[in-house]
Structure 1
Amino acid sequence: MKVVLATSNKGKVREIIDLLHDREVFPYTEVIEGFEIIEDGDTFKENALIKARVVYAALGDSDVIVIADDSGISVDALEGAPGIYSARYGGEGASDRDNLLKLVEALKEKRLNTSPAHYTAAIAIVSREGENCVHGWMHGDVISELRGENGFGYDPIFIPDGYKQTLGELPNDVKKGLSHRSKALELAKILIDQIKFLRSHAGSAVIR
């Protein structure tokens, strides 16, 4: 049973494959040519489902399970921004660093060095059995200086609750236990295993 990721983001692909290491997982771009997906939902859940549905339809293979992640960071001092726009906060074609620097600048414009913030991850699962979406969260604070080069996205400015180091400074094994995406994927694993169980028992008869 193949699990296809509805993303070509290398950072997300690495993290998800690592977290689902005991399953056959690969990005959809290994099967078909990559294409633009219009994410016009109003929530992380809506955008995750949009991506998963579009890729599932494009693959044209009812045996695959498609999972899609939509995630981002919400900063209290910025009234929840960048939120669902985290990946394109710096504008069209913005890089991770562009987004990061814009958030730092937004904090400085408010003369703030720190603010409470949280990450959200929505993982959508689309298969012939139907659609589901699960969530994970990670709470902490953002700061206005970049620290550490481990990870990607906003990791160098986010300090998880209970820690003094940013995600960019923390080792991967610690980050894995804190990650909003890993929390959501743990729930997604349960749903994927349920689908596997249903398929393995489809059509089986009960002998009494």
Structure 2
Amino acid sequence: MKLVLATSNKGKVKEIQALCKDYEVIPYSELIDEFEIVEDANTFKDNALIKARAVYEALGDKNAIVMADDSGISVDILDGAPGIYSARYGGENANDKDNMNKLMGDIKAKGVESSPAHYTAAIALVSNNFEKSVHGWMYGRALSKARGDGGFGYDPMFIPDGYDKTLGELDDAIKKELSHRSKALSLARIILKTLQ
């Protein structure tokens, strides 16, 4: 079964391909030209659905199954920020490093070295005859200093509960087990199996 991903984020594509080895996983940008999708909803779930619907419509293929992910980190001491704004927290043209540096600076500005935080991943699946969404979470602490250079996004500043290393320091196999995205994908795979 072919799954079209409504993302061109290389980190997400690689992670989803690794977690969905029993499917042919293709970023939509390999099938059609990339286009801007306005994510203007208030929840991860609704933004994931916006992306999946937009790519499904643009593909014009009734047999396509499109998967979209919307995810981010929410930090308690910042009242849940950046939340749905995680990908653009550092500004409009910010990259992963800019976003992480802004978040670490905001935590530090509160006079603390770390704060309870959690990641949320919402995955939407859209096809000709259904729309479904699932969620996964990972809890831990967000730091005011980065450690390690593995992973992507905010990984070097997040320590999962039960560990003393950041996601930037942890082995990929451990990360895969803990990941909010892996938890959501395991639920998405259950839905996909019902389609085969």
TM-score (norm 1): 0.93
Matched to 2:128, the amino acid is: R
> Structure 2 counterpart of 1:26, which letter?
I
Q: CA RMSD in A?
A: 0.5
**Counterpart residue number, 2:41:** 41
Q: How far apart are the structure 1 equivalents of 2:26 and 2:37?
A: 18
- 1:24 aligns with 24
Q: What CA distance in whole angstroms lies between the structure 2 residues aligned with 1:20 and 1:139?
A: 23
The 2-side partners of 1:182 and 1:68 are apart by 14
Unaligned runs of 5+ in 1: 197-208
What residue in structure 1 maps to residue 108 of structure 2? 108
C-alpha contact 1:62 1:127 (8 A) present in aligned 2: yes
Map of 1:206 onto structure 2: none
CA distance in 2, matches of 1:190, 1:108: 41
Structure number, greater radius of gyration: 1
CA deviation profile, 1:29-58 (whole Å, cap 9, x unmatched):
000000110000000000000000000000
Structural mapping, 1:66-145, within 5 Å: 66-145=66-145
Q: Percent identity?
A: 65
Structure 1 position 166, deviation (Å): 0.2
For the residue of structure 2 that corresponds to 1:141, the secondary structure is strand
1:41 is matched by which residue type in structure 2?
A
Q: What SS class does the counterpart of residue 4 from structure 1 fall into?
A: strand
Show the 5 A alignment for 1:127-166: 127-166=127-166
1:171 is aligned to 171
Amino acid at match of 1:68: A
- Structure 1 residue runs of 4+, over 6 Å off? none
Q: Deviations over 1:79-132 (max 9, x none)?
A: 000000000000101100000000011011111101000000000000112100
Residues in 2 aligned to 1:37 and 1:192: alpha-carbon distance in whole angstroms? 24
Deviation string, structure 1 residues 55-92 (Cα, Å, up to 9, x no partner)? 00000001110000000000000000000000000010
